[in-house]
Amino acid sequence: MSTKEQKERIELLQGTLDLLILRTLVRGPAHGHAIAKAIEFNSDEVLQVEQGSLYPALHRLIKRGWIGVEEGTSENNRRAKFYRLTAKGRRQLAVETSKWDKLAGAIAQILRPAEQEGEP
Partner 1 sequence: MRRRKRMMEDLDQDIREHIGMETQDNIERGMSPEEARYAAVRKFGNVTRVKEDTREAWSFVWLEQLLQDFGFALRMLARNPGFAVVVILMLALGIGANSAVFTFAEAALLRSWPAKSPESLAKIVATTPQGGTEWFSYPDYRDLSEQCQSLEGIVAWSRHQMTLRVGAESQFVLDDWVSPNYFTVLSVHAQLGRTLSETPDPTRELIVVISDALWHRVFNADPNLVGKPILLTGKSYTVIGIAPPRFRGLQREVPTDLWLPVSMESASELQDRAYHDFELLGRLRPGVTATEAKAEFETIGRRLAEAYPSTNKATTFTLVSESERLRDALFPTFMLMTAVGLVLLICCANVAGLVLARTEMRHREIAVRLALGAGRGRLVRLLLTESALLASVGAGLGLLLASWLLRLQPALLPPAPFEIGLDLRLDSSVLAFTLVAAALTVILFGLVPALPAANLNLIPALKPVQSGPGPARRFGMRNVLVLGEIALSVVLLTASGLLVRSLVYSRGLNAGFDTRKSLVFFDLSPGLAGYNAEASLRFFQQAAEKVGGLTGVRRASFARRVLLSDSEGGAKQRVSIPGVELPQGQPNVPIKFNAVGLDYFATLGTRLIEGRDFRAADGPSGARVVVISETMARRFWPGKNALGQQIVADGKDFQIIGVAEDAKIIHIHEAPEPYMYFPFAQSPINWGTLIVETRGDPRTMVAAIRREIGNVDQNVPVGVRTLNYLLQQAFWEDQTAAGFVGALGMMGMFMAATGLYGLISFLVNRRRHEIGIRMALGAERRDVLRLVLSEGLRLAGIGIVVGCCISLGVTRLMSGLLYGVRPRDPITFATSSAVVILIALVASYIPARRAMRVDPMVALRYE
Binding site for partner 1 (CB under 8 A): 1, 31-33, 36-37, 50-53, 55-56, 59-60, 62-63, 74, 76, 78-81
- Report the C-alpha gap between 15 and 20 in whole angstroms: 9
44 vs 115, beta carbon nearer partner 1: 44
Other beta carbons within 10 angstroms of residue 48's beta carbon come to 17
Cβ 112 to partner 1 shortest distance, Å: 36
What Cα–Cα distance (Å) separates residue 94 from each residue in 3, 59, 83, 87, 102? 37, 20, 18, 11, 12
In the complex with partner 1, the residue whose CB is nearer, 58 or 85, is: 58
The distance of closest approach from Cβ of residue 2 to partner 1 in the complex, given in angstroms and rounded to an integer, is 13
- Cα–Cα dist 48/51, whole Å: 9
The nearest distance, CB 83 to partner 1, in angstroms, is: 10
Q: Which is nearer to partner 1, 2 or 109 (CB)?
A: 2
